[in-house]
Amino acid sequence: MTSPLRYTLPGTTSYVDQLYPDPAKLTRSTGLTTYEQVIAHFTAVSLAQDGIAIEEKVPTVTRRAGRYHVAFTPKTRSEADAKAFARAHVEFLQEHRAGLALAGAAACKATPAWNPMAGFPVNSSDGTSEWYPCLPLGLPLVNQRAVVLMHYPPIVAYRSADYLDNNTLRRWAQLLTCVGVKSPSLYHSIVDVNPIAAPGSGESEYQNDYFTVSLTSQFYDDDSRKLTYVRAMLAQALNPASNADNPYTLPLLVCGSPLYDPQAAAWFRVRYKDQLPVDQNGTPTADVLQVGTVRLDPTSAKLTPYMVANHMIAAGVTGRCTKQPSKIPDIRKYEAQDLVAATFLSLYHDRPDIDPAEAKRIACQRWFGADDGAGAPKPASAADKLTICALAQMDLCFDLKTLRPTYTFDQATKRCKQAGGDTFSPCFDCDPITAGKR
């Protein structure tokens, strides 16, 4: 057995308390009643996401002399990664990283922009509108293979102390598995352009857009006031020590469908407008399946390869069967685009120096049978055609109460084999009793 690993979190306990969910606001089923338990819980989950094995069920977190101290015993095969994790955990929580989420929230709270619907329901499921600063806790810190840029965490992630327990990230894990990724958790490194937990289906879409690009630009990406949370977090997440010898940073997936939750991609376009391609009018673009490289900051040592993709849950919200499989919202187009995005990221694990355009070409050849994703999906492999059908059935057919897929991937695959015809078309009926149908 290896020796216990001990380290101290940065800042006072009152500072660290603000970075983690308040135990009093968590659902009772979490069993977490103290900040020590909350910190230990998220640290254990993060270690597991990184594939770092420890002897204990959860680390020990103690409060002494106004500071939090973490201790756990890594198993022998994980000792080196555990030491890297301790360094990364401390760096993550520093005031110039995670602390910028608190600074941005404080600045926002001084204006009417903070939770303008406080006390009123904005949807039918989350109760009255509540906003809390919310960091991407419990995610990989040292062994991640990519970073995903998203909009904001749903409040269920805060209340359940589980950043991953939502339909969006369950679908993302399924997509990764479908393209051949053996360790989906290593693709769970996430940065939100608004680190604020809020109702998951009411604050940003439809008529309730309270998380506009300008909110990010003012409070989480303002150089003049040193409120630079988004780029500070991206800089750490995209540059783990394990990637030091590679020519690029880790790849970045910028998620925001033009039909659903486009704000992260919109921020990316605003921030990097001088580095992005332009259309015939000279307007910078951030279109789905667009690829390239950006330099996060003028002083960044490495370029970051990126792809713009749909929001991970967009297919399940707006996707449907149409007569135009070459355009979203057709569900087949959605699935193929999302599979291209997952494939694009996966290629960088074995080929960290691959040009983004070449990575896109390879991914599009697999799922569209062409060098780009401009047309309808036409994968050469029958297995890949079946994958598109099965994913589409999962997104089209859902439980009306939980909004989770009615069918598992295996069940959806069987349905496609029985009813999808020679082309494995997913456009056949859901079970009308147990499923909804979009």
Mean pLDDT, residues 121-139: 89
Crossing angle, helix 331-350 and helix 356-368, to 10 degrees? 140
Same domain, 213 and 256: yes
Residue 372 within any structural domain of the chain: no
Return the bridge partners of 306, or none.
252, 292
Cis peptide before 377 (omega within 30 of 0): no
Same domain, 110 and 72: no
Q: How confident is the model at residue 77 (pLDDT cuts 50, 70, 90)?
A: confident
Same domain, 56 and 137: no
**What pLDDT score was predicted for residue 203?**
52
Name the range with the highest mean pLDDT among 107-121, 357-371, 394-408: 357-371
**What pLDDT score was predicted for residue 82?**
97
- The SS3 of residue 398 is strand
Q: How far apart are CA 213 and CA 83, in angstroms?
A: 37
Q: How far apart are CA 268 and CA 213, in angstroms?
A: 9
pLDDT 10s digits, 374-394: 999 999 999 999 999 999 999
**How many CB atoms are located within 10 Å of the residue 431 CB?**
12
Same domain, 423 and 308: no
Residue 330 within any structural domain of the chain: yes
Q: Are 151 and 263 spatial neighbours (Cβ–Cβ below 8 Å)?
A: yes
Last residue in a domain, options 70, 94, 118: 94
pLDDT 10s digits, 235-271: 999 999 999 999 999 999 999 988 888 999 999 999 9
Same domain, 331 and 216: yes
Residues of the chain with pLDDT > 70: what percent?
96
Same domain, 313 and 426: no
Residue 375 within any structural domain of the chain: no
Instruction: Compute the C-alpha angle 189/160/15, nearest 5°.
Output: 70
Same domain, 46 and 108: no
Structure tokens at 1: 């057995």
Same domain, 432 and 354: no
Separate counts of helices (H) and strands (E) for the chain: 14, 12
Cα R_g (the chain), whole angstroms: 22
Of 363 and 210, the structure prediction assigns the larger pLDDT to: 363
Structure tokens at 421: 């015809």
CATH of residue 50's domain is 3.30.70
Residue 10 within any structural domain of the chain: yes
* Domain extent at residue 242: 98-365
Q: How far apart are CA 384 and CA 382, in angstroms?
A: 5
Residue 89 in this model has a pLDDT that exceeds 80: yes
pLDDT 10s digits, 333-362: 999 999 999 999 999 999 999 999 999 999
Same domain, 287 and 342: yes
Last residue in a domain, options 365, 399, 429: 365
Residue 5 in this model has a pLDDT that exceeds 70: yes
Residue 246 within any structural domain of the chain: yes
Return the bridge partners of 293, or none.
305
pLDDT 10s digits, 9-47: 999 999 999 999 999 999 999 999 999 999 999 999 999
Same domain, 106 and 79: no
Residue 376 within any structural domain of the chain: no
Q: Are 139 and 46 spatial neighbours (Cβ–Cβ below 8 Å)?
A: yes
The DSSP string of 182-231 is S-GGGG--EEESS-EEB-TTTSSSTT---S-HHHHHHHTSBGGGTB-HHH
Q: How many structural domains are present in the chain? A: 3
- Mean per-residue pLDDT over the chain, rounded: 93
Residue 307 within any structural domain of the chain: yes
The DSSP string of 51-119 is T--BSSSS-EEEEETTEEEEEE-B-GGGHHHHHHHHHHHHHHTSTTTTHHHHHHHHHHHTSTTS-TTBT
Residue 154 within any structural domain of the chain: yes
Q: How far apart are CA 432 and CA 34, in angstroms?
A: 45
Same domain, 405 and 359: no
Residue 202 in this model has a pLDDT that exceeds 60: no
Last residue in a domain, options 335, 365, 395: 365
Same domain, 190 and 288: yes
